[in-house]
A and B are shown apart, each in its own frame.
Chain A
Amino acid sequence: MQAEMILFLILAVVAVASAVAMLLARNPVYSAVFLILNFSTIALFYLMLNAPFIAMAQITVYAGAIMVLFLFVIMLLGGEQVHQKEDLPWQRILAVTLGLILLGEFVYTLTVGQAGLPGLLVSSDAPAPVDGMAFGSPIAIGDSLFKQYVLPFEVTAVLLLVAMIGAIVITQKKKS
């Protein structure tokens, strides 16, 4: 086995294990920390897929900003002390069954069906540079973002502003 394959398998085990641990942890703080681990392994997958800019955005925005916001809210609400009772056992069984059915469908599509998925290989050597820029480099991303996708980029700025205003309006105390 090649080094890249071994790296992929180890990271895949870490990613799936941390996701399952996130799902099963009783304490929401542990869930959040396991999710940070999961996001970090996904950032490493992005690096393996020639997407360094996305990997760094994943670390700073997801594993950094978003998860800190989650931890902040968990501690603000005292969520680590909330012990919920599971009064719907059939729902859990149903969820596992439906998840396994969906997994079976994915396995069928990826192995037997191969519908629209030719067995393409992600080659370990970097793809040929386009216009003198390496594929997925921050330069190429910025070039595409500010030329071809400049309007969606500006719209996301408005979206973030609206989200910020919405969060402030929702959480402010009503005067009564």
Chain B
Amino acid sequence: MVPVYYYIGLSAVLFIIGAMGVLMRRNAIIVFMSVELMLNASNLAFVAFARVHEALSGQIFVFFVITVAAAEVAVGLALIVAIFHQKHTINVDEIRALKG
């Protein structure tokens, strides 16, 4: 038997690693991957709580989160490609102007 707070603790650690990735890295693609890691950490907490409370809606919610993440990745990567074509860099420090 694994106590649920082990899962919640693991999810918290993964979330913090993702947040530190967003804060520390300058490469837009790595920042984006860190955001995905944070989404996964929250999904893990969702599934752990769904298991403890035996509520299926937690798993349904994770399914919707995965779907929205897929849509977000498609649009986000398209934006990164468009910015790279315009400015020839994906360093988030060098992308300052809103106007292309």
Contacts and interface: CB of A to CB of B under 8 A. Distances in A.
B70 A110 contact: no
Given A23-B21, A42-B40, A54-B47, A99 B16 contact: yes
B26 to A, nearest CB: 5
A121 B1 contact: yes
B91 to A, nearest CB: 5
B56 A73 contact: no
A28 B29 contact: yes
Contact size range, B: 35 or more
B56 A135 contact: yes
A4 B3 CA distance: 11
Interface in B47-69: 47-48, 50-52, 54, 56-57, 59-60, 62-64, 66-69
Contacts of B73: 66, 69-70
A58 B89 CA distance: 31
B29 A156 contact: no
Contacts of A86: 26
B59 A95 contact: no
Nearest to B73: A66
Interface in A115-130: 117, 119-124, 127
Contacts of B90: 77, 79, 82
Given A16-B10, A141-B63, A38 B56 contact: no
Contacts of B25: 23
Contacts of B62: 51, 54
Interface of B: 1-10, 12-14, 16-21, 23-27, 29-30, 32-34, 36-37, 40, 43-44, 47-48, 50-52, 54, 56-57, 59-60, 62-64, 66-75, 77-82, 84, 89-91, 93
21 contacts: A22-B34, A23-B24, A32-B33, A35-B36, A38-B40, A45-B10, A51-B51, A54-B62, A70-B33, A73-B81, A74-B29, A82-B27, A87-B93, A91-B24, A92-B24, A122-B2, A124-B2, A136-B56, A149-B57, A163-B74, A166-B78
